[in-house]
Amino acid sequence: MEDSSDKTRPFGPLSAYYDVVYGFKDYARESRKLVELIRHKLESDGRRLLDVACGTGEHLKFLQDEFEVEGLDLSEEMLDIARAKLPGVGFHQGDMAVFDLGREYDAVVLLFSSIGYAKTVERLDATLACLARHTRPGGVVVVEPWFTPDDWRPDTVHAGLFGETPELRIARVNTSFREGRVSWFDLHHLVGTPEGTAHFVEHHELGLFTIDEMRAAFEQAGLETDYDPEGLTGRGLWVGVRRS
């Protein structure tokens, strides 16, 4: 295998290995908790759910048992994998801050800290406004946040994330950095297959939003908001109900 370094396209080369790298993630448990939360908060009478930044569709595999689901992601590579897994589900390519599907849902979710890719407060506000526009009155918006500025630890090294299949081994190492209100890191991957071992790098930049900025974005979008500091995975969870 040739070296395939790519520091310009998050989740480009990684798409093919994404489910192996995150094989430790308990999507089933997270989805059960999410279903319970939505049931508790939902005031509209439908079952339509949109997963924004859906990635390869792992949450939707479980959510489809409870909802009529659709997914949206910026990455066509990720969407191709999701479509192959869930051929009966509608998937859309789009930017979470500006997409327009021309319909409303009873629940709109944005998980796995993908809101960090908004990067700026302006795009954070635009993203929440976009999610709210796609939510029915009485419907629920759920966002799993990225780190706050106080919680982010720059200049720290993270190693030991490993994934494997019978013919694949993948390892990841990165160092965390910060520039102003943006966290950034280069994810270095070593991928070993029977054909050889390759190395590729993916560059990621995520905005560090405060609790007050997140709350303000929800409220400006017309969402009555609660915050759970634990959430699905320990990173917290924002839940908003759209008022007419």
Residue 5 pLDDT greater than 50, yes or no: no
How many CB atoms lie under 10 A from the CB of residue 211?
A: 14
For all residues of the chain together, what is the average pLDDT?
93
CB 51 within 8 A of CB 68: no
Instruction: Delineate the domains of the chain, giving CATH numbers in brackets.
Output: 25-148+210-242 (3.40.50.150)
| Sequence-distant (≥ 6) Cβ neighbours of residue 212 within 8 angstroms | none
Region 133-148 average pLDDT: 98
Q: Label residue 2 by pLDDT band (50, 70, 90).
A: very low
Residue 53 has pLDDT above 60, yes or no: yes
* Distance, C-alpha 189 to centroid of its chain: 20
Task: Reply yes or no on whether the pLDDT at 79 is more than 90.
Answer: yes
With a CB cutoff of 8 Å and minimum separation 6, the contacts of 69 are 48, 49, 50, 51, 60, 63, 89
Lowest mean pLDDT among 49-53, 128-132, 177-181, 188-192: 188-192
Please tell me whether residue 196 adopts helix, strand or coil conformation.
Answer: strand
Confidence at residue 108, expressed as pLDDT on a 0 to 100 scale: 98
Q: What is the mean pLDDT of residues 18-40?
A: 96
Per 3-state DSSP, the chain is made up of helix, strand and coil in percentages (nearest 5) of 30, 35, 35
* pTM of the full structure: 0.93
97, two tokens: 């801050």
Say what the pLDDT of residue 10 is: 47
Mapping DSSP to helix (H, G, I), strand (E, B) and coil, where does residue 71 land?
A: strand
